[in-house]
Chains A and B, each alone.
Chain A
Amino acid sequence: MTSTTTGRAGHSVAPARAGLRWDRFALPSLLLAPLLAVILGVVGYPIVRTVWLSFHEGEYLMTGAFNGVDNYTEIFGDPYFLAALLRTTVFAVVCVVTTLLISLAIALVLDAGSWAARIVTVVVLLPWAMPRVASGIIWKWMFNDQYGIANWLLVSLGFDSFRGYAWFNDGFASLVAITIAVVWHSVPFIAISMLAGLRATRGEVLEAARVDGAGFYQQLIRVRLPMMKPLLTILGVMSTIFAYQSFDHFLVMTTPPGGPSHSTEVLSLLTWLQAFTVLDQGVAAAMAVVTFVLLAGITAVYVRLSKEGA
């Protein structure tokens, strides 16, 4: 009698516990397994491997002997790498500032709201969907020296020196054209995020400021932008990182890649060329690690600031 009771009790408890364990541990692990496999296999392992490679010789894409920090001393003694590091940084800062300002302007226009704003929002997003390779080609065509629409527009506006101006014969002018193309591509996402942020600031505080007689600019600078600070920080850091990683536009828009005479080389392009054209994976890995550390620093700032914001 007693034994049957315990038997029954044991019988009814066991599946419940098993069910609990299944629900608490086995099921989530099972669900997360594919993601973890991808993260470890195609993200985690490559990162470790890149760091490892950066301390080894790697001519002709074959892993050679351990060579300490030789690759690092080599790149930090290489004027082209240092120039690319500086150039990428300046390019990123200019891209981010322009992108944020234009995005804010667009978000404010859309936030002013009207029946048209909904349609314009979709239009604003479209450039994001255009493949970067295609947009690079189109902007290069628009900046063509003889038949480009940019020069035609500038000449029509009275800037006669742009008649037949060859944008891609000079590093600085190339970078201006590439910056415009990259900003055109990165504004949509940032602008729409800012629009969401602006909409979220509507409410009692803003209403109180309005009742107290604050004008449009006062409302914006004293109330709305400070309320959006966490979002603005995140968007700033995100666009910095995207700008640092720009590759497609540079590969498509410059001939030869990074030219003329190395004047448009940026980190990602230089690293890729070093690995797959010069075929020196050791030095390329060291460049990648430097980029990674730089971006990890920015990401750390991002995580930290977004936590402070919340």
Chain B
Amino acid sequence: MTRRLIVYPAMVLICVASLFPFFWMIVTSLKPDTEIFTVSPQFIPHEPILSRYTELFSGAIPRQFLNSLLVAGVTTVVTGLIALLAGYALARFNVPMKRYLLIVILSIQMLPQTVLVIPLFVVLRNTDLLGTYQGLVLSHLALTVGLATYMLRSFFMDIPVSLEESAMVDGASRMKAVRLVVFPLVWPGLAASSIYGFITSWNELMFSATYMQQSSRETLPVALQQFFSSYYSDWGGVMAASVIFTIPVVVFFLLVQKRLMQGMVAGAVKG
């Protein structure tokens, strides 16, 4: 009984602390300025307005949203492919120096982005990829492939080898065995590592701000950061833009949160 007296209020507190910033962002974006700038906060908007959203949608936001979607989408697909192949190889074969390769893969996750940002700028400039979507995708791969490979490897390792072997004994080639037997079992892992790649790329600011200087190719984090620094006092507008920026990731996250956390926790715990 005493345990319940502590646990339930604590759970309420945890939920409030986690959710309040989301709630406040949405509420602020819906309030007219007269209700935003009040000394004691109004938790429920009296006269909710949608004009901030319609204004944003008639501006550059749709374009920037599509830019972000394109970059994050391509990053996700490429990361998924690379990690699927490499994860399978690292789970099933005795690759020489596998131990070191795994350490390298995990260490990539620990690299400061500032080590990569300068030389990648030079590389992209020299190859005429500066300010292009391909260039930004390439730079995002550096951030995603390591953990994605590691996650998929641990998903592959959870699938018994005997499944493939029996298919191969029955005359299937390895490719066929993998395609028909292993892949259907590993796709949740692929989904999880893909969402990880998507979220990483969608949220990434440093590379995007450095490489995408042409306003028509800006992605959302850059646009939002610039919008914020130039319309500093338009809190309602900034909140509406933040909502638009946040919704896709939260939706994706809610769809696959269970598997995603399994994979990431496995990466941390087994690593």
- Interface residue ranges, A against B (CB under 8 Å): 23-24, 27-28, 30-32, 34-35, 38-39, 41-43, 45-47, 49-50, 53, 61, 63, 105-106, 109, 112, 114, 116-117, 120, 122-135, 137-139, 141-142, 144, 146-147, 149, 152, 184, 188-189, 192-193, 196-197, 231, 234-235, 238, 241, 244-245, 247-248, 251-252, 255, 267-268, 271-272, 275-276, 281, 284-285, 287-289, 291-292, 295-296, 298-299, 302-303, 306
Q: Which residues of B contact A126 (CB under 8 A)?
A: 18-19, 22, 250, 253
Q: Which residues of B contact A152 (CB under 8 A)?
A: 39-41
Tell me whether chain B's interface is mostly helix, strand or loop, or mixed.
helix
The reply to whether A247 and B119 form a contact with Cβ atoms under 8 Å apart is no
Which one of A120, A231, A287, A288 lies within 8 Å of B14 (CB-CB)?
A120
* Size class of the contact patch on chain B: 35 or more
A268 and B112 contacting across the interface, CB-CB below 8 Å: yes
| Cα of A167 to Cα of B79 in the assembled complex, Å | 41
B: residues with CB less than 8 A from A are: 3-4, 7-8, 10-11, 14-15, 17-19, 21-22, 24-25, 28, 36-41, 81-83, 85-86, 88-90, 93-95, 101, 103-105, 107-108, 110-123, 138-139, 141-142, 145-146, 149, 174, 199, 202-203, 205-206, 209-210, 220-221, 224-225, 228-229, 232, 235, 238-239, 242, 245-246, 249-250, 252-254, 257, 261, 264-265, 268-269, 271
Chain A residues closer than 8 Å to B203, beta-carbon distance: 131-133, 248
With both chains docked as a complex, state the minimum distance between the C-beta of B146 and any C-beta of chain A, in angstroms.
8
Inter-chain contact total with CB atoms closer than 8 Å:
265
Known contacts A131-B221, A149-B41, A247-B113; A137 and B242 CB within 8 A of each other = yes
In the complex, what residues of B have CB within 8 A of residue A23's CB?
Answer: 93, 174
Q: Are B38 and A133 touching (Cβ within 8 A)? A: no
Q: Which residue from B36, B120, B205 sits with its C-beta under 8 Å from A132?
A: B205
Q: Which residue in chain A gives the minimum CB-CB distance to B86?
A: A35
State how many angstroms separate the Cβ of A41 from the closest Cβ of chain B. 8
* Chain B residue with the shortest CB-CB distance to A22: B174
Contacts of A41 in B (CB 8 A): 138
A138 touches B239 (CB 8 A): yes
Residues of A within 8 A of B139 (CB): 42
Q: Which residues of B contact A134 (CB under 8 A)?
A: 25, 224, 242, 245-246
B14→A268 contact, CB < 8 A: no
Give the chain B neighbours of A267 by CB distance below 8 A.
Answer: 112, 114
Q: Tell me which of A49, A50, A234 contacts B268 (CB under 8 A).
A: A234
Task: Pick from A116, A291, A302: contact of B8, CB below 8 A.
Answer: A116
| Interchain residue pairs with CB less than 8 A apart (24) | A38-B145, A39-B146, A124-B14, A125-B253, A126-B250, A127-B21, A131-B221, A133-B225, A137-B224, A137-B238, A138-B242, A146-B39, A149-B24, A184-B21, A197-B269, A234-B268, A238-B110, A244-B112, A245-B113, A248-B205, A252-B228, A288-B118, A291-B114, A291-B115
Chain A residue at minimal CB-CB distance from B195: A129
Whole-angstrom distance between the Cβ of B153 and the nearest chain A Cβ: 11
Is B145 touching A272 in the complex (CB atoms < 8 A)?
Answer: no
A138 & B89 in contact (Cβ 8 Å cutoff): no
In the complex, the answer to whether B95 meets A28 with C-beta atoms within 8 Å is yes
6 smallest CB-CB distances across A and B, nearest first, come from A49-B119, A35-B86, A31-B89, A129-B253, A46-B119, A28-B93
